[in-house]
A and B are shown apart, each in its own frame.
Chain A
Amino acid sequence: MATRVELGMTGVAKKALMAVSGIVLTVYVVLHLAGNLLYFAGPAALDAYGALLHKNPALLWSARAVLFASFCIHVAAALDLYMRKQVARPISYGRYERAASSLGARTMIWTGLILLGFVVYHVLHLTLGITHPAYVPGRVYSNVSVAFASVVPTVIYVVSMIALGLHVSHGVLAMTQSLGLTLRRDRLRGLRRFSVVLALIVALGLAAIPITALALSFARGR
């Protein structure tokens, strides 16, 4: 029965990688939200913010590289772990109830997949402008207004932001524990609340932009 212990990546190590990349992505989402909220300050402010980001290409591209790497690590680790889950329980229960897990926790893989699709769409849509009907580089405000003048993209964005909210609500909680950071019980309770609030802010803030744009276009059209 003596146990041989092999080297290699354990689930704990993989989850730590997911957590670190998750932190990068979360920080990015929060910054992205802060910048995007300039939408409500009007075209001049938003376009100026866009120009500011492009001022230093080296910085921009290194940020993008870090972001892209984190994204890939996050997705790869998630898919790998999801596969392992099937291996760890090859025969599923005839009856199985989840008693404790939050909605966010239950739907992590699905919200994750939605976000994966969304990110691809979002980059093609508002960064590269390929799926955009009238993309003009640099004219951020008008690009946004035009993009969300129709219902379909708006719905896609809003649904994705709901997914993002769910994903963040569990993700923020989980990554602190994956890194072994919340060792006290009372802190864990606080953290639970914090992650829900953060998820609400991110989801509501980011969804507000397409909804506002759509509403404005309806108002203008009428």
Chain B
Amino acid sequence: MRIALEVWRQRSPEEPGRFVRYETTEASPDMSLLELLDVINEGLVSEGEEPIAFDSDCREGICGTCGFMVNGLAHGPLQGAATCQVYLRSFRDGETLFLEPFRAHAFPLIKDLVINRSALDRIITAGGYVSVNTGNAPEANTSTIPKDLAEQAMDAAACIACGACIAACPNASAALFTGAKITHLGKLPEGQPERGRRALRMVRAAAAEGFGHCTFAGECETACPKSIPLQVITQMNHDYLAARLRGEGRATARHIEPGTPKKRR
């Protein structure tokens, strides 16, 4: 099988980047796209050239490390698959593939196809958790969670933080990512006490990172390797607006200045 690649090469954020063409006849339909890159890299290294830098780890679509644009689509042409799960049988013999890094202001480029996605960690840091210290948990079966609710929470919790939703979004919005965590925890009884606060803080953190806004184009749902449903965005908007309208997070302990005289009617 013959495959040509047009790969974005950029040595560092400061230097300009460009597409470089690589052609190979060593491809076979049972090879994954990343294995093809491995093969090309091995060839490059043997010639003393710097290999194409790309991130990948588990190579089974669960760690979220890999990810770049393939022919203009985040993670390539398959629904519900990460880049590492794309096999060459999805392409035609002789096809040219364009590989380009995920692009967003909040995802600064490091090298070639490698980007920095720590902004996603910072969104979770802002509130994507249940505040419960180790040892502070009641017996597991004391909480009863309807199966449907558990399934919906799991649908949202399946997010692997690969960044494809942001890459595919015309506005580089992190709404699907943020909404997924808000929905996962917001569906469960354990997540209720912090539900409003969590939505407020995570949405604000996403904005502060420089992600765009959601226009409900639906590109993220299609790009998502875990097919997380768009409803998580609606849920996020719902929880955020409800918390804003309730004025959540403003309650503080009542303080009366010492020496204040009693109020008389």
Instruction: Give A contacts to B, CB under 8 Å.
Output: 1-8, 10-16, 81, 84-85, 87-102, 105-106, 108, 170, 173-174, 176-185, 188
Asked whether any CB of chain A lies closer than 8 Å to the CB of B104, the reply is yes
Instruction: Give B contacts to A, CB under 8 Å.
Output: 8, 19, 69, 71-73, 98, 100, 103-106, 118, 121-123, 125-126, 168, 170-173, 200-201, 203-208, 210-219, 221-223, 229-231, 233-242, 244
Evaluate contact between A95 and B230: CB separation under 8 angstroms: no
> Which residues of B are found within 8 Å of A178, using beta-carbon distances?
214, 216, 237
Evaluate contact between B219 and A89: CB separation under 8 angstroms: no
> Which residues of B are found within 8 Å of A102, using beta-carbon distances?
217-218
By CB atoms of chain B within 10 A, which of A96, A176, A188 has the most?
A96
Q: How far is the CA of A179 from the CA of B239 in the complex (A)?
A: 10
Closest CB in chain A relative to B12 CB, distance in Å: 15
> Which residues of A are found within 8 Å of B215, using beta-carbon distances?
15, 81, 105, 108, 174
Q: How far is the CA of A1 from the CA of B170 in the complex (A)?
A: 28
Give 15 A-B pairs besides A6-B208, A88-B172, A182-B231 with Cβ atoms closer than 8 angstroms.
Answer: A1-B125, A5-B208, A11-B203, A15-B215, A15-B237, A85-B172, A94-B8, A95-B71, A98-B170, A100-B219, A108-B215, A177-B216, A180-B235, A180-B238, A183-B234
Q: A93-B69, A188-B231 are in contact. Are A84 and B213 (CB under 8 A)?
A: yes
Evaluate contact between A85 and B125: CB separation under 8 angstroms: no
Evaluate contact between A180 and B242: CB separation under 8 angstroms: yes
Closest CB in chain A relative to B197 CB, distance in Å: 10
Q: How far is the CA of A5 from the CA of B173 in the complex (A)?
A: 18
Q: How far is the CA of A177 from the CA of B206 in the complex (A)?
A: 18
Cβ-defined partner of A105 (8 Å) among B121, B125, B216? B216
Q: How far is the CA of A101 from the CA of B221 in the complex (A)?
A: 10
> Which residues of B are found within 8 Å of A173, using beta-carbon distances?
216
Cβ-defined partner of A101 (8 Å) among B105, B170, B229, B238? B170
Evaluate contact between B241 and A88: CB separation under 8 angstroms: no
In the complex, 26 of the A-B residue pairs with CB atoms within 8 angstroms, ordered by the A residue number, are A1-B121, A2-B125, A3-B125, A3-B201, A7-B204, A87-B105, A88-B171, A88-B210, A89-B171, A89-B212, A93-B100, A94-B8, A95-B69, A95-B98, A96-B69, A98-B170, A99-B219, A102-B217, A170-B216, A174-B216, A176-B234, A177-B216, A177-B237, A178-B237, A180-B238, A180-B242
Q: How far is the CA of A100 from the CA of B229 in the complex (A)?
A: 13
Evaluate contact between B217 and A101: CB separation under 8 angstroms: yes
Closest CB in chain B relative to A103 CB, distance in Å: 11
Evaluate contact between B122 and A1: CB separation under 8 angstroms: yes
Evaluate contact between A180 and B211: CB separation under 8 angstroms: no
Chain B: CB-nearest residue to A105: B217
Evaluate contact between B203 and A10: CB separation under 8 angstroms: yes
Evaluate contact between A5 and B204: CB separation under 8 angstroms: yes
Evaluate contact between A12 and B122: CB separation under 8 angstroms: no
Evaluate contact between B229 and A185: CB separation under 8 angstroms: yes
Q: A2-B125, A89-B104, A98-B217 are in contact. Are A11 and B212 (CB under 8 A)?
A: yes
Closest CB in chain A relative to B203 CB, distance in Å: 5
